Amino acid sequence: MAEGRRDPQPGDLIEIFRPLYQHWALYVGDGYVIHVTDEEASSIFLSSSSISATRAKVKMELLKDVVKNDNWRVNNKFDRSRTPRPVKEIIRDAEQWIGKEVSYDVLKKNCEHFVTMLRYGKGVSEQAEKAVFGGATALLGTALLGALAVLRVALSGGKSKI
Catalytic-labelled residue, pool 58, 111, 115, 117 = 111
Report how far residue 119's alpha carbon sits from residue 28's, in angstroms, rounded to the nearest whole number. Answer: 11
Instruction: Please report how many Cα atoms fall inside a 13 Å half-sphere around the Cα of residue 52, on the Cβ side.
Output: 6
**Helix (DSSP H) and strand (DSSP E) numbers for the chain:** 4, 6
Active site annotation includes 111: yes
Report how far residue 45's alpha carbon sits from residue 14's, in angstroms, rounded to the nearest whole number. Answer: 18
Q: In b/e form, how buried is each residue of 83-101, taking b as 16+ CB within 10 angstroms?
A: ebbeeeebbebbeebeeee
Phi-psi region of 12 (alpha: psi -120 to 50; beta: other; left: phi over 0): beta
Active site annotation includes 23: yes
Phi-psi region of 16 (alpha: psi -120 to 50; beta: other; left: phi over 0): beta
Catalytic-labelled residue, pool 15, 21, 23, 128 = 23
Q: Kindly list the catalytic residues.
A: 23, 111
